[in-house]
Chain A
Amino acid sequence: MNNPRSNAIHLHDLTLGYDRHPAVHHLDGCFKAGSLTAIIGPNGAGKSTLLKALAGTLRPLSGSLSIPSHDRRIAYLPQSAEIDRDFPISVEDLVAMGLWRKTGPFGTVARQDRAAIGHALDSVGLAGFEDRIVGTLSGGQMQRVLFARLMLQDAEIILIDEPFAAIDTKTVQDLMQLVRHWHGEGRTILAVLHDMNVVSEFFPDCLMIAREPVAWGKTSDVLTPAHLAKARAMIEANDPHADFCERAA
């Protein structure tokens, strides 16, 4: 947050994929420090793949990405399906995991940490939910809890993958206010979204991909009928007989 240039996330001819088949092809560009960017595109466009690479859980097939190296403080909220909601853990304990960088595997959760947890739950509208078991929460409440955890991670870069799938409008509005607040604090935020109304209402910048980059820039410039039509025309299937890509870097 001190030096905007060096804090930007740069993508250099980045190709990501699985088993050598690209899911994101030759992506070049930069997420500026402190920017709030929506990543949009059809299913299978490579949006989640891009976030995985930024979060460091997927290695690029080629090209590179550079993330501000001083202490990679990245918070990543994947699609909610990855969490085991049958595990008997309380809301407070789940949110407390956001303090991992502070507590580590063995450190104690101090009294001021408990206050921070309470404050985070308050911010997402779940004050008093500390002792609830996560299995008893509704889908919207669960997403609020995960945003509270995200908040405690206090990260400079926040990656959110489809946070509002099957979430009601009220919750979306509440959580987007929180995202806007984080944006105001100078954090860099990338969110994968499908709701174009939310994108144009809250996000200044937008990246549209459909396995290939379609458009990247101001949201109003990206969300044009021409771009949307191009994204829709994307070919989703891999070509099993595809040749090696020779496109120059």
Chain B
Amino acid sequence: MVMTTLYDLVIGPFVEFAFMRRALVGAVALSLGAGPIGVFLMLRRMSLVGDAMAHAILPGAALGYLIAGLSLGFMTAGGLIAGFVVALLAGLVTRVTVLKEDAALASFYLISLAGGVVLVSLRGSNVDLLHVLFGSVLALDDPTLLLLAATATISLVALAVLYRPLVLECVDSLFLRTVSRSGGATHLGFLALVVLNLVAGFHALGTLLSVGLMMLPAFAARFWSTTLEGMMMCATGIGILSSAIGIMLSYHLSTPTGPTIILTTGLIYLISLLIGLKNGLLLRLLPRKHLVG
């Protein structure tokens, strides 16, 4: 009896409906790439960069939509181009002028966002654009799924290639500059990965919410591991878990799926904050004996 209820609750919907399985596959693919990237963003104190980038991407996607309607190709290309241009310009201004990276990035994403809103208003109707803002994880078609899977593959391979310079850039960028010229390229490559994941993510979760699946698992992972490898694995796991739970909850509660996934991730983050084994809040309150040495 209990088993059948559990089956109906957890597994049934996925067995019964293809769109549920597609949503799950898409969200899992997103979590694979976005998890480790989120950890690096967090450790580099760039947690808000994802948010800025999501805003920067929006006008590109909108432009793609204005040209070709709800076309996966055009909207993806538009988002990628807008994201890359903002990342490049911000990187250039950071290296050449006195403005720090946060200021440079903020300046260009604001310009990009304002431009996007004006562009959209020229067209009149913006009802369909809700798709860009909030995604449609329950309507992932084959090309979109392929895009999500390709993004995960590219992200993981690129992270493996960039890993050493990226870690070195985070820990001691001055040292990297004295031994190699790859610092700038590494940084831009990493930002390109952020953009790629956010663009892929907006088809499922929308531009703004896709940042949630990138950052929230990373924050939660900080409370379960003290090593970089541990945090990346943890973040990916939490991303996958909250995707599965979120999709399931939204099915039973008839809530919008994207926000439900992010709310689930947020809940896992809050729980981790409380009971996490590495510096969780509860540990601080417990009287614990100290060690001998």
Contact = CB atoms under 8 A, between A and B. Distances in A.
B125 interface: no
Interface in B168-202: 168, 170-172, 174-175, 177-180, 182
B227 A88 contact: yes
Contacts of A89: 167, 171, 228
B107 interface: no
Given A89-B167, A105-B180, A106-B161, A97 B228 contact: no
Given A97-B168, A97-B172, A105-B165, A88 B226 contact: yes
A35 B168 CA distance: 30
A100 B171 contact: no
Interface in A110-161: 133-134, 153
A84 B46 CA distance: 14
Contact of A133 (B161, B165, B168, B227): B227
Contacts of A106: 161, 164
B226 A105 contact: no
Interface residues of B, number: 22
A74 interface: yes
A87 B164 CA distance: 14
A165 interface: no
Contact of A57 (B168, B178, B182): B178
Contacts of A100: 168, 179-180
A93 B174 contact: no
Interface residues of A, number: 27
A83 to B, nearest CB: 5
B93 interface: no
Of the candidates B164, B177, B226, B231, the one having the most CB atoms from chain A within 10 angstroms of its own CB is: B164
B43 interface: yes
Interface string B151-165: 000000000011011
Contacts of B231: 88
A172 interface: no
A89 B171 CA distance: 8
Interface string B81-102: 0000000000000000000000
A246 to B, nearest CB: 29
Contacts of B171: 83-84, 87, 89, 94, 97, 134
A239 interface: no
Contact of A105 (B164, B172, B178): B164
A55 B172 contact: no
B222 to A, nearest CB: 9
Contacts, number: 60
Nearest to B172: A83
Contacts of A93: 167
Contact of B174 (A78, A87, A101, A105): A78
Contacts of B172: 82-84, 97
A74 B178 contact: yes
Nearest to B165: A105
A57 B226 contact: no
Nearest to A134: B171
A56 interface: yes
A57 B177 contact: yes
A54 to B, nearest CB: 11
Contact of B178 (A55, A84, A104): A55
B182 A105 contact: yes
A101 B179 contact: yes
A84 B45 CA distance: 11
Contacts of B178: 55-57, 74-76
B45 to A, nearest CB: 9
A101 B167 CA distance: 16
Nearest to B228: A88
A171 interface: no
Contacts of B164: 103, 105-106
A200 interface: no
Nearest to B39: A88
Interface in B125-174: 161-162, 164-165, 167-168, 170-172, 174
A97 B175 contact: yes
Interface string A62-93: 00000000000011101000111011111001
14 contacts: A57-B174, A57-B178, A74-B178, A76-B174, A76-B175, A87-B43, A88-B43, A88-B226, A88-B228, A89-B228, A97-B168, A97-B171, A104-B180, A106-B164
Given A86-B43, A87-B167, A105-B164, 7 more contacts: A56-B178, A74-B178, A87-B43, A88-B43, A106-B161, A133-B226, A133-B227
Q: Which 7 A-B residue pairings sit nearest by Cβ, starting from the closest?
A: A100-B179, A87-B171, A76-B178, A105-B165, A83-B172, A88-B228, A82-B174
